[in-house]
Amino acid sequence: MSIELISAFIGLILTLMVFSYLIGDNPLYRFAIYLFIGVSAGYAVTVVWHSVLVPKLFAQLGDPNQLVLLVVPLILSISLLAKLSPRISGLGNLAMGILVGVGAAAAIGGALIGTLLPQVQASMEAFNIRSAGGGSSAVFKLVEGFVMFLGTVFTLASFQFSASKAPDGTIKRSPIFDGIAWVGRIFIAITLGVIFAGVYMAALTAMIERLSSFIDFARPFLGS
């Protein structure tokens, strides 16, 4: 029996175990999920060891010029192991704080440079009718940019909850502002619907791929 056949058979069994969730939570489904999490964790540890720790830390310890720079990350890495014991977990707080801080800074920087600024640039480019040439294309591009601008403003307005106090003592927002926020919620609903459709299509594609693998696996045994 070839390795490909064994791999296909194991994949078939695991897929059926995951599909068993359709009849409710059961031990087969939980075993498949735990196996997936365990394999993912083991793979992540292996990648970190061979791609980060060994080449960038341990392999450089023999260099006297790099030793001083590597002692600090080595100590911080070892201190993270203290988190395994509640008694000495406080020793790993500094390293954990550095990880959280650097991770938050990287996330904010990535969101700013990779998402926010490109979106602002794209919104500004939508009003550049010169790039559209002229005629109906320029009009369409201008309308598209105007809709994007209104969608952004109305969506931001839907998250504004400031209100003023009326003469009768009640606190409420302006009807005009409420209308703008209502339109913004429509834009949010459309966006969430598109995101859900994308997730659904990705899941449907994965299911079709699994069903196709079932057919490819069973075809030799069926003689067709």
Higher-scoring residue by pLDDT: 130, 101:
101
Q: Residue 76's pLDDT is what? A: 85
Summarised one tens digit per residue, pLDDT across range 65-80 is 777 778 888 888 888 8
What average pLDDT does range 2-20 have in this prediction? 81
Summarised one tens digit per residue, pLDDT across range 21-40 is 888 889 999 999 999 999 99
Q: How many residues does the chain have?
A: 224
The residues near 128 (Cβ < 8 Å, ≥ 6 apart) are: 141
Q: Residue 224's pLDDT is what? A: 53
Please answer whether residues 92 and 81 qualify as being in contact, where contact means their C-beta atoms are separated by less than 8 angstroms. Answer: yes
Model-level pTM?
0.57
207 alpha-carbon distance from chain centroid: 21
Q: Which of 70-84, 95-109, 126-140 has the highest mean pLDDT?
A: 95-109
Nearest to 138 by CA among 187, 154, 146: 146
Summarised one tens digit per residue, pLDDT across range 44-67 is 999 988 888 888 877 777 777 777
- Looking at residue 88, what DSSP letter applies? S
- Looking at residue 174, what DSSP letter applies? -
Using a pLDDT cut of 90, give the percent of the chain over it.
20
78 alpha-carbon distance from chain centroid: 29
Question: Quick one: pLDDT band at residue 217, thresholds 50, 70, 90?
Answer: confident
Query: What is the C-alpha to C-alpha distance for residues 190 and 192, in angstroms, rounded to an integer?
Result: 6
List the chain domain ranges.
126-224
What average pLDDT does range 187-199 have in this prediction? 92
Per-residue pLDDT at 86 exceeds 80? yes
The residues near 15 (Cβ < 8 Å, ≥ 6 apart) are: 210, 213, 214
Determine how many CB atoms are found less than 10 A away from the CB of residue 108. 11
Please answer whether residues 158 and 185 qualify as being in contact, where contact means their C-beta atoms are separated by less than 8 angstroms. Answer: yes
Given phi > 0 = left and psi -120 to 50 = alpha, else beta, which region is 63?
A: beta
Please answer whether residues 28 and 7 qualify as being in contact, where contact means their C-beta atoms are separated by less than 8 angstroms. Answer: no
